[in-house]
Chain A
Amino acid sequence: MASTSDLDKAGSIRRAPEGFLDPAQIAEVTAGRRGFLRNALLMAGGAAAIASTARAESSGDSNILELPVHSKSLGQPVAATGYGQPSKYERNLQRRESPGLTRVSAASVSFTPLQGTFGIITPNGLHFERHHQGWWDIDPSKHRLMINGLVKNPLVFTMDDLMRLPSVSRMHFIECGANTGMEWGNVAVPTVQYTHGMLSCCEFTGVLLSTLLDMAGFDKKNGKFILAEGADGSSMTRTISMERALDDCMVAYAMNGEMLRPENGYPLRMVAPGIQGVSWVKWLRRIEVGDQPWGTKDEVIHYIDLMPDGRHRQYTSIQECKSVITSPSGGQTLLDKGFYNVTGLAWSGRGKVKRVDVSFDGGRNWQTARLESPIQSKCLTRFNIGWKWDGGPAVLQSRAIDVTGYVQPKINQLRAVRGTRSIYHNNAIQSWKIAESGEVANVQVY
């Protein structure tokens, strides 16, 4: 029998059942008296249970001292779920709509829970959504891509064709032009999911647009623009400059190691690195080469930036350098005083992030944060910096600088030029106020 003194030692290892039997008892078992063995095991188990209850009160954490059921019984088999799902304990991290932002959920947005993601890759199931006329799960065997307009050879590709062509895999962020658009005048939403969650980042795989344009023999003299068009009801259309199309645009069929998700354009979407998400046309069916921009609905009526003089800026596309602290962030309560790893994301539509500074006193003093690799062009970059919270009030901010030397602006600097009604392209420094209670709130301080 196991002695109580052995079991009382915190962290001691319980012996295997064989160890509870002395040689004489083992002889009885081998002689066929199995009933004796069962009784011996029951007794040993009972002693252990009594001992561990006592221990939990005196010797340490019951999560350590009392072995949980998963350590003492059989777990689930392989392929219990053919496509794995996150732990049930992660169910709080969901894409969510911002109530009141739109009136029809088929023409709406769901936001990525940036407060809960790590590193720079957005899990496919948490990638933000923006649909203009609902989403579809399109049969890929029936999907076609056409290239026409100012080309020698108008072409049609099947998915089979596209997936035979030389592919590239590249990591890029995608940000809606209206991300943070609710905050031009004042703070409006409580958490980073709603302030910055129209932002995601994937490794995309597909064919460079230049490859397809070359195959079609595009007009190099007059072909100044391309039109990307979707196959959904809205047949979403956006003009992209030929210069950009040839630079790094791609026609992508995969994200993060699997085919695109239906909500993200399955089976084919445009990837237009550095420019706003609306140009990354989903369910891509057609590319036309032309000599003028198309002036589509989302270039003339929406995705235009209203300036203080009443004029609209048109064809604003680039997502300028921006950053945000994702933890701690609005709507959270810090556990206690002491050490915290302050972490966040930085990105620039003009290239790589060069540096991120963090302030804990509302922008008066700044320290340079650590950038995690990889640091890639037009891709999210993760930054981290240590902080000891003394329990007093604090205002946390991050400020990114990109390779062009551009420094992420303050909201008042943006307002001085663009007013408060432009909706799009708000890349202001975000402030999170930490109250003495540990509660973190969205505020504006500049």
Chain B
Amino acid sequence: MSRFTDLLLALTLCAAGGAGAQADRYPGIGRAATPAEIRAWDIDVRPDFKGLPAGSGSVAKGQVIWDEKCASCHGTFGESNEVFSPLVGGTTAEDIKSGRVKALQEPMARTTLMKVSSISTLWDYINRAMPWNAPKTLAVDEVYAVLAYLLNLGDIVPADFVLSEKTMQQVQDRLPNRNGKVKYDGLWSIRGSADVRNVACMKDCKLESGLASALPDFARGTHGNLADQQRLIGPARGVDTAKAPVSAAKPVSRSMSELATKNNCSACHQLDKKLVGPSYKDIAARYKADDTAESKLVDKVKKGGGGVWGPIPMPPNALKDEDIRALVHWILAGAPE
């Protein structure tokens, strides 16, 4: 063997061993990937079609595969919303001309064909991940055929179309939303800057809404019983959503007794004991059958009164009207706790 071939052999071995300046730092770790291994795993297809294998498939052939392997999840026409979001729908001939799907400006559900801006993406995804329960089992020509059929369902290619590595660009030029994407650097680059700014106001900050949104009562149980989703000890317990919202009853009564305390009612009145004045329960009992009791008592609380319960009169009370009405209503209901 000549010294030249020795050298060649050494160089070849060196390359095969994955050796390089850096590899030498960690001897014995890692090995060269073989060409066959790379072919087996390097299946990605980019928007510039790098990685796209040669092959072809017709719409007609695609329909056969579709009905057998795809329709059960995606629907016969790619319209199904049962298992996954619909693939087909929402695009128009006008969109194919402009490359922008107009319906995306409307508040409506989005289909795959409304969103997709690069045809390579669909080829790559069907090839690597479909069918759902048997990914990577379609042959290259079958991937072309299924995609051809899907495009035909979306009126992007005619029924006699044959999709191949040579016709992919034609399809790309007709994709309804091919111009509908912007690469947004603000949330991509390490140096990207924010598009939304707040300032850290600390005191008397301006608010723009009241209570803008809250869960409606009927949605309480949608996530199961929340009492079963919180720790059994600690500062709080889970809300028992199997029961009706407490907002209607308990918080009102609780705030009422506090409202009564706050406004010094409780200096003279208690729930069930006569103090200076009658108890709330006694008041409720006396006026039980009196339809005009509420307005009568509102007036009494406001202006003061006497003579009904004994010699000590009630002074006028300077409460807000709605508070007086709420308190009287609560007292006549028996002042529920």
Tell me which residues across on chain B come within 8 A of A439, comparing CB atoms: 239, 246-247, 251
Check if B205 sits within 8 Å of A333, measured CB to CB. Answer: no
B54 proximal to A (CB < 8 A): no
Select A234's contact among B15, B25, B128, B210, beta carbons within 8 Å. B128
Shortest Cβ distance from residue B14 to the other chain A in the assembled complex, whole angstroms: 10
Complex-state Cα separation, A317 to B199, whole angstroms = 23
Check if B44 sits within 8 Å of A92, measured CB to CB. Answer: no
Check if A306 sits within 8 Å of B104, measured CB to CB. Answer: yes
Complex-state Cα separation, A438 to B232, whole angstroms = 16
Select B188's contact among A147, A157, A229, A315, beta carbons within 8 Å. A315
Check if A155 sits within 8 Å of B30, measured CB to CB. Answer: yes
Q: Which residue of A lies closest to B129 (CB)?
A: A234
Number of interface residues of A (CB under 8 A): 126
Shortest Cβ distance from residue A195 to the other chain B in the assembled complex, whole angstroms: 11
Select A103's contact among B44, B82, B200, beta carbons within 8 Å. B82
Check if B255 sits within 8 Å of A156, measured CB to CB. Answer: no
Tell me which residues across on chain A come within 8 A of B190, comparing CB atoms: 241, 243-244, 247
What is the 8 Å Cβ interface bit string for chain B, positions 190-218, against chain A (1 contact, 0 not)? 10101111111111110111111111000
Select B20's contact among A100, A217, A413, beta carbons within 8 Å. A217
What is the 8 Å Cβ interface bit string for chain B, positions 121-141, against chain A (1 contact, 0 not)? 110110011001001100000
Q: Which residue of A lies closest to B131 (CB)?
A: A233
Check if A313 sits within 8 Å of B184, measured CB to CB. Answer: yes
Complex-state Cα separation, A187 to B219, whole angstroms = 11
Shortest Cβ distance from residue A92 to the other chain B in the assembled complex, whole angstroms: 6
Shortest Cβ distance from residue B331 to the other chain A in the assembled complex, whole angstroms: 18
Complex-state Cα separation, A417 to B37, whole angstroms = 47
Q: Which residue of B lies closest to A193 (CB)?
A: B229
Tell me which residues across on chain B come within 8 A of A312, comparing CB atoms: 104, 115, 117, 180-182
With contacts A364-B205, A443-B213 taken as known, whether A103 is within 8 angstroms of B247 at the C-beta atoms is no
B311 proximal to A (CB < 8 A): no
Shortest Cβ distance from residue A132 to the other chain B in the assembled complex, whole angstroms: 8
Check if B235 sits within 8 Å of A327, measured CB to CB. Answer: yes
Check if A297 sits within 8 Å of B29, measured CB to CB. Answer: no
Tell me which residues across on chain B come within 8 A of A223, comparing CB atoms: none
B238 proximal to A (CB < 8 A): yes
Complex-state Cα separation, A115 to B223, whole angstroms = 15
Check if B198 sits within 8 Å of A409, measured CB to CB. Answer: yes
Tell me which residues across on chain B come within 8 A of A416, comparing CB atoms: 196
Select A292's contact among B37, B46, B197, beta carbons within 8 Å. B46
Check if A413 sits within 8 Å of B183, measured CB to CB. Answer: no
Number of interface residues of B (CB under 8 A): 108
What is the 8 Å Cβ interface bit string for chain A, positions 184-207, against chain B (1 contact, 0 not)? 001111110110000000000000
Complex-state Cα separation, A414 to B187, whole angstroms = 14
Question: Which of B105-113, B150-158, B273-281, B297-305 has 4 or more CB atoms under 8 Å from chain A?
Answer: B105-113
Select B237's contact among A316, A332, A445, beta carbons within 8 Å. A332
Complex-state Cα separation, A401 to B236, whole angstroms = 28
Select B202's contact among A96, A189, A365, A406, beta carbons within 8 Å. A365
Select B247's contact among A187, A241, A311, A437, beta carbons within 8 Å. A437
Check if B44 sits within 8 Å of A156, measured CB to CB. Answer: no
What is the 8 Å Cβ interface bit string for chain A, positions 306-330, against chain B (1 contact, 0 not)? 1111111111111010000001100
With contacts A92-B229, A148-B33, A153-B15 taken as known, whether A313 is within 8 angstroms of B182 at the C-beta atoms is yes
A408 proximal to B (CB < 8 A): yes
Which of chain A's residues 284-302 have a Cβ closer than 8 Å to chain B? 285-286, 288, 290, 292-297, 299-301
B226 proximal to A (CB < 8 A): yes
Tell me which residues across on chain B come within 8 A of A357, comparing CB atoms: 200, 202
Select A437's contact among B46, B83, B226, B254, beta carbons within 8 Å. B254
Tell me which residues across on chain A come within 8 A of B4, comparing CB atoms: none
Complex-state Cα separation, A403 to B104, whole angstroms = 36
With contacts A116-B231, A333-B239, A437-B246 taken as known, whether A445 is within 8 angstroms of B33 at the C-beta atoms is no
Tell me which residues across on chain B come within 8 A of A444, comparing CB atoms: 209, 211-214
A83 proximal to B (CB < 8 A): no
Tell me which residues across on chain B come within 8 A of A442, comparing CB atoms: 214-215
A375 proximal to B (CB < 8 A): no
Select B121's contact among A92, A107, A146, A296, beta carbons within 8 Å. A296
Check if B198 sits within 8 Å of A417, measured CB to CB. Answer: no
With contacts A133-B135, A357-B202 taken as known, whether A413 is within 8 angstroms of B196 at the C-beta atoms is yes
Check if A441 sits within 8 Å of B215, measured CB to CB. Answer: yes
Check if A98 sits within 8 Å of B223, measured CB to CB. Answer: yes
Check if B118 sits within 8 Å of A295, measured CB to CB. Answer: yes
Check if B22 sits within 8 Å of A417, measured CB to CB. Answer: no
With contacts A320-B187, A365-B202, A407-B198 taken as known, whether A186 is within 8 angstroms of B110 at the C-beta atoms is no
Check if A332 sits within 8 Å of B238, measured CB to CB. Answer: yes
Shortest Cβ distance from residue B336 to the other chain A in the assembled complex, whole angstroms: 13
Check if A235 sits within 8 Å of B129, measured CB to CB. Answer: yes
Check if B121 sits within 8 Å of A364, measured CB to CB. Answer: no
Complex-state Cα separation, A436 to B250, whole angstroms = 9
Question: Which of A34-42, A46-54, A60-68, A334-342 has 4 or more CB atoms under 8 Å from chain B?
Answer: A334-342
With contacts A190-B223, A331-B239 taken as known, whether A433 is within 8 angstroms of B214 at the C-beta atoms is yes
Complex-state Cα separation, A365 to B124, whole angstroms = 52
What is the 8 Å Cβ interface bit string for chain B, positions 1-44, against chain A (1 contact, 0 not)? 00000000000000100111111011011111100011001111
Check if A443 sits within 8 Å of B211, measured CB to CB. Answer: yes
Tell me which residues across on chain A come within 8 A of B129, comparing CB atoms: 132-133, 233-235, 297
Check if B235 sits within 8 Å of A328, measured CB to CB. Answer: yes
Select B196's contact among A133, A294, A299, A418, beta carbons within 8 Å. A418
Check if B258 sits within 8 Å of A229, measured CB to CB. Answer: no
Complex-state Cα separation, A292 to B209, whole angstroms = 45
Shortest Cβ distance from residue B233 to the other chain A in the assembled complex, whole angstroms: 8
Between A and B, 25 residue pairs with Cβ closer than 8 Å are A89-B233, A92-B232, A93-B231, A96-B224, A116-B230, A148-B38, A154-B18, A155-B30, A187-B215, A189-B222, A190-B226, A235-B43, A300-B118, A310-B104, A314-B184, A317-B187, A328-B235, A328-B236, A331-B226, A331-B238, A331-B241, A418-B196, A433-B211, A433-B214, A441-B214
Taking A165-B26, A215-B20 as known contacts, 6 extra A-B pairs with beta carbons closer than 8 A to each other, sorted by chain A number, are A156-B33, A304-B181, A309-B105, A409-B197, A439-B251, A443-B212
